[in-house]
Structure 1
Amino acid sequence: MTQQEKTTTSLPPPSRERSRAPAQARKARILERLNLGGSISVTDIAQEFGISDMTVRRDLAELERDGLLERVHGGAVGLTRGPLTVIDDAEPIFEARSRQNAERKARIAQAAARHVAGRMTIAFDLGTTVLAAANAIVQAGPDPQLRAFSNSLRIGMTMARAGIATYMSGGLIRAEEMSLTGKEAVDGFSRYYFDVALLAASGMTTEGVFDYSPEEVAVKTVFLQRSAERVLLMDSTKFRRISTVLIATLPEISTLITDAPPPPELATVLDAAGVRIIVADPLQPPNSPG
């Protein structure tokens, strides 16, 4: 055997695992699947990420140690008590968020457009689902007397191009979100009152509704305080998730429009808080009745 052959045969065998997703991404996916109900298996997660069963078991052990799930033979189940919580501390870019759960958001947007039909003053928070709702309102043919208020430049342009009277504030522009923030934005919107506010958030638990940015939350707070009805547009993947800032407690929300019923423990608290829950219908094909 040559020296080259010795060197080659002494190398460890190549790993059978594909390029791994970061551990945090794997754990978030595990908890997201549990959040939707039922259980998960070690085999399914291993196949999804192309990793070994041992790596999955290590992830599950760490999540169990953090009190986020309960391991069972061959996999894991959600906690039988208390909220199953995923902590998000980094805001995904707007374009990436707009592609996530697009069908769910489209359903919510159609339901929101129907819900606010006939309202004369609507405050639009920023966010991909609220932007989808703005587009749905435009497509539905809004009342010509409608007045729209928003700190989102994307939503402002959408409404203005449709011929809707659109009001925005001053403030500092967050380039990625294309939103107006800061004291000028807060003071500007504090002069108005709204029939309804359409709001977005990054997560909801029994403690309340959460989002990433303190700057954005300051404007959300004004919309909450100045609106007769506070409508939260949130897809079901955000249930039992928390983030950097608490926007509002559940009693501060009037209506939740979502794509699937909340988990039982969250639904119970929402009911006690007097929050109306609207589960969006399947998407209507173009030009279909209803």
Structure 2
Amino acid sequence: MTAAQTHPPDPVTARPTERSRTPAQVRMARILERLNEGGSVSVTDIAREFGVSDMTVRRDLAELERDGLLERVHGGAVGLTRGPLTVIDDVEPIFEARARQNADRKARIAQAAARHVAGRKSLALDLGSTVLAAARAIVQAGPDPQLRAFSNSLRVGQLMARAGVATYMCGGLIRAEEMSLTGKEAVDGFSRYYFDAVLLGASGMTAEGVFDYSPEEVAVKTVFLQQSAECVLLLDSTKFRRISTVLIATLPQISTLITDAAPPPELALVLAESGVQVIVG
């Protein structure tokens, strides 16, 4: 029997299994997984998730950048800008699934949105899960007694009304899966009002603009946008560089973007050129 047969494989040269991955490999796999979902990652988030220092995460990002797998930016990293955009056509996840997805990111966006619109007297809110989280944050912060809320979301309307906020809705067809009011009656009803600001959700953003799934929902979003002095877009970073069925607005039509991480560099440049204020919650 030879020496090669009497000794186990060299642990240095043996191919690692999933279970034998080092902590650094696990972290880096998680970073790439997040980037593949779209958007960006932040040093703080990864450090908190794995209980390591910011410096450790920065070393991970530096190694992945050397391997050509990501691009480092201030405070974190983004996926490489080359290659096609991720296209989401007309398959809209159910509301409950969207509400659970990226819940931590949406909670940070919601808190930042509540602070941003504090003191507004007339506020439109559409039907997205992040907008619903923002409505909840506004209520928890103690809404202005003079606030009037306008929404086509039955969920948002019920939440605001129960908190004692003067809440206005409209007629229209109820989309059962979204619990939202749509159609000509909804569009005509909201077109009579003017708002200090609108909190708007979307399914994606590129340099071309902001997108969503449903033409019926976008018709109401468009009215909110046209009738508002400020359009505040609430969008988590996984939706950067994604498109969908319908264009809601071009970037110059957006006043403020509230998100959870810095946009990719090429998108950040177009946002700046379009005069969009970016707030990272």
TM class by shorter chain equals 0.7 to 0.9
Trace 1:73-222 onto structure 2 (pairs within 5 A). Answer: 78-81=79-82, 85-89=85-89, 90-222=91-223
Give the number of the structure with larger relative contact order, counting CA–CA contacts within 8 Å between residues 6 or more apart: 2
Q: How far has the Cα of 1:36 moved from its partner? A: 2.5
State the shift of 1:33 in Å.
4.4
Give the SS at the match of 1:123. Answer: strand
Q: How many Å apart are 1:85 and its aligned residue?
A: 1.4
Letter aligned with residue 170 of structure 1? G
What is the DSSP-based 3-state SS (H/G/I as helix, E as strand, rest coil) of the residue aligned with 2:150? strand
Aligned residues of 2:35 and 2:41 also touching (Cα < 8 A): no
SS of the aligned residue for 2:124 comes to strand
- Deviation of 1:80 (Å): 4.6
Q: Which runs of 4+ in 1 moved over 2 A?
A: 29-38, 74-82
User: What's the counterpart of residue 17 of structure 2?
Assistant: none
Query: Match of 2:5?
Result: none
**Structure 2: distance between partners of 1:31 and 1:136:** 28
Is the partner of 2:108 in helix, strand or coil? helix
Counterpart contact for 2:257–2:276, Cα < 8 Å = yes
**Take 1:30 and 1:195, find their aligned partners in 2: how far apart are those partners?**
35
Aligned residue for 2:58? none
Unaligned residue ranges in structure 2 (runs of 5+):
1-32, 43-66, 71-78
What runs of 5+ residues in structure 1 fail to find an aligned partner?
Answer: 1-28, 39-73, 281-290
Equivalent position SS for 1:260: coil
Q: Which residue of 2 aligns with 1:3?
A: none
- Cα 1:263–1:75, aligned 2, differ >3 Å: closer, same or farther? closer
**2:39–2:263: 8 Å Cα contact kept in structure 1?**
no
Q: How many residues align?
A: 218
Structure 2 counterpart of 1:205, which letter? T
CA contact (8 A) 1:148 1:159 kept: yes
Aligned counterparts of 1:193 and 1:258: Cα–Cα separation in 2: 25
Instruction: Show CA shifts across 1:210-242 (max 9, x none).
Output: 000000000000010000000000100000000
Counterparts in 2 of 1:120 and 1:180: CA distance versus 1, 3 Å: same
Q: Distance in 2 between matches of 1:196 and 1:219?
A: 15
Cα separation, 2, equivalents of 1:153 and 1:230: 21
The normalised TM-score by structure 2 is: 0.73
Letter in 1 for 2:184: K
Report if the CA contact (8 A) 1:138-1:159 is conserved.
yes
Q: Percent identity?
A: 78
Q: Are 2:173 and 2:181, in contact at CA under 8 Å, matched by a contact in 1?
A: yes
Instruction: Report the TM-score when normalising by structure 1.
Output: 0.71
Q: CA RMSD in A?
A: 2.2
Q: Secondary structure at the match of 1:122?
A: strand
